[in-house]
Amino acid sequence: MWCGPLPRAELCGLAPDPAPRPECRSRAKLRGLASDPVPRPERGRAAGSAPDPAPQLEHRSGAEPHGAPPNPAPRPELGRTQLPSGSSQADLKQLAGNIIGSGIFISPKGVLEHSGSVGLALVVWVLGGGIAVLGSLCYAELGVAIPKSGGDYSYVTEIFGGLAGFLLLWSAVLIMYPTSLAVIALTFSNYVLQPVFPNCIPPYNASRVLSTVCLLLLTWVNSSSVRWATRIQDIFTAGKLLALALIITMGFIQIFKGNYEELTPSNAFNFWMSPSVGQLALAFLQGSFAFSGWNFLNYVTEELVDPRRNLPRAIFISIPLVTFVYTFTNIAYFTAMSPQELLSSNAVAVTFGEKLLGYFSWVMPVSVALSTFGGINGYLFTSSRLCFSGAREGHLPSLLAMIHVKHCTPIPALLVCCLTTIIIMLVGDTYTLINYVSFINYLCYGVTIIGLIVLRWKKPKIFRPIKVNLLVPVTYLLFWAFLLIFSFYSEPVVCGIGLIIILTGVPVFFLGVYWRNKPKCVNRLAESMTYWGQKLCFVVHPQEGAPEEDDLSFTQSQLPGSEKSLKKQ
């Protein structure tokens, strides 16, 4: 049930209590999904239960008191069901891979259209990267001060309370991630199918079917192994960086040949329209879609190795690298195309390839497909962890806070993310929702960074391994206010609908989360659905704590109704 504290659904022995009692070592069936009305102190709090009413941030796991030596990395324990930690070497690749996706192949047209000139468009790309760095530094401080997976959602919930966190979670789960995933999946299918239909737009049904197959495949990969998902991200990050390197190399060759007329100062700042402040804000909003994903590592903080060291390193290397790649990719575009040609193209990279690569123009559709395939994988990984964190806090059904017994992956959360994406992809034009997504994204970023300042005021003595200068969040918030105010002025309908989508979560919060004394029939239905969901997905709550007894084997435990014993992993 997702009202208040989560039920203590346990597979006795398979998911042992933090302090196992002798009677729990015997074989037992699933103990329903009912928890004790008042959990006994010796039992410990389940991993999926709601947080304490007044959490003491100074004593959170992973944040030692000021002056205390850092704790050594915990020893891996046998027989424990936990989200696995990633590799420190993979953090940089994951961040860069999650940022670089379909955006660089979609956003250049929108940025140029609202900028009014080539030069100003390039300035927007550079400043967009700088703003992403400022935001990432603020998130890095929050990530080590509140070491919980879930990113924005966890920080807003911790600082502002349940309603604010739920509204952020509601907008992300309902619109932001599913719509972004749908756009990237459709971009993947369109570029894969374009060589098959060279003279026309790929058929609607074929594009949707291929997008759905891609989503299902990557959902299966992420459900089977975190290591597989990370390796896919590594491989496709390298592949798309090589593809973008080809574009940049061709651009430099064009410059050396003298084909840079559009980049000379007289032409670059030759405005074919005078952009208003509102249009400039929309240009930044379009560019922000390409940079979305810079807060990826904050969603998996609990799975990082030494986040206090690896978060800043990943930020200072990955985001400037991405900014360099994006800026010079746009420069390369303008060495082969005029602004009018770029604005008239629905597939900028394909047009670029047709002009410069000749018989090898097929490389561009393949490159975009590689990029978007890796982007889908990254978004699935991140969005499933957000659902997992929301369920663990009691804001989503408790089944979403469970992980697979063998693979330790959040299968229910992955399935929900996949299903919502497929529904949005099939029932509507997701490209129309991109503006809603960008506006909601920036709104959530700003609220989270306001929380950083509030946390410094409320908890000045909390141990902060990373502490940025106050000018960093203030500068970001000034840009944030400019962007949202003038975007709302230029597109009141689009931004207004985005706000309405967020506010629809208010009644859902009070009915589903705040209302504790629900009728028994509702509770029984929720318990039954969670029970069968556990059996179907073979999942339990992840274990917390580190008692020595947990090192014992529990090979005799069984799922309800199953005769197959589980082997110790």
- Between CA 467 and CA 172 the distance in angstroms is 27
Residue 159's H or E segment, with its range, is: helix 152-160
Burial label, 23 (beta-carbon count in 10 A; 0-12, 13-18, 19+): exposed
3-state secondary structure (DSSP) of residue 540: strand
Alpha-carbon distances of 350 from 105, 195, 201, 305, 365, rounded to whole Å: 9, 10, 13, 39, 6
Would you call 222 exposed, middle or buried from its count of C-beta atoms within 10 A (0-12, 13-18, 19+)?
buried
pLDDT tens by residue, 71-85: 433 443 434 555 554
What pLDDT is recorded for position 28?
Answer: 32
Burial class (CB in 10 A: 0-12, 13-18, 19+), 280: buried
- Position 41 scores a pLDDT of 35
Q: Which residues of the chain have pLDDT under 50?
A: 1, 3-79, 85-90, 545-569
Q: What is the pLDDT of residue 51?
A: 38
Give the model's pLDDT for residue 97. Answer: 59
| Domains, in order of start, for the chain | 81-515 (1.20.1740.10)
pLDDT of residue 87: 44
DSSP 206-267: HHHHHHHHHHHHHHHHHHH-HHHHHHHHHHHHHHHHHHHHHHHHHHHHHHHTT--GGGSHHH
Residue 327: half-sphere exposure toward Cβ, Cα within 13 Å = 18
SS3 (DSSP) at 273 = coil
Tell me if residue 437 falls in helix, strand or coil.
helix
Q: What are phi and psi of 404, to 5 degrees?
A: -65, 140
Is pTM beyond 0.85 here?
Answer: no
φ/ψ (deg, to 5) at 48: -95, 5
Report CA torsion sign: 189, 194, 197, 199. positive
Supply the DSSP symbol for 460.
T
Quote the tokens at residue 494: 């689009």
Tell me what pLDDT residue 455 has. Answer: 93
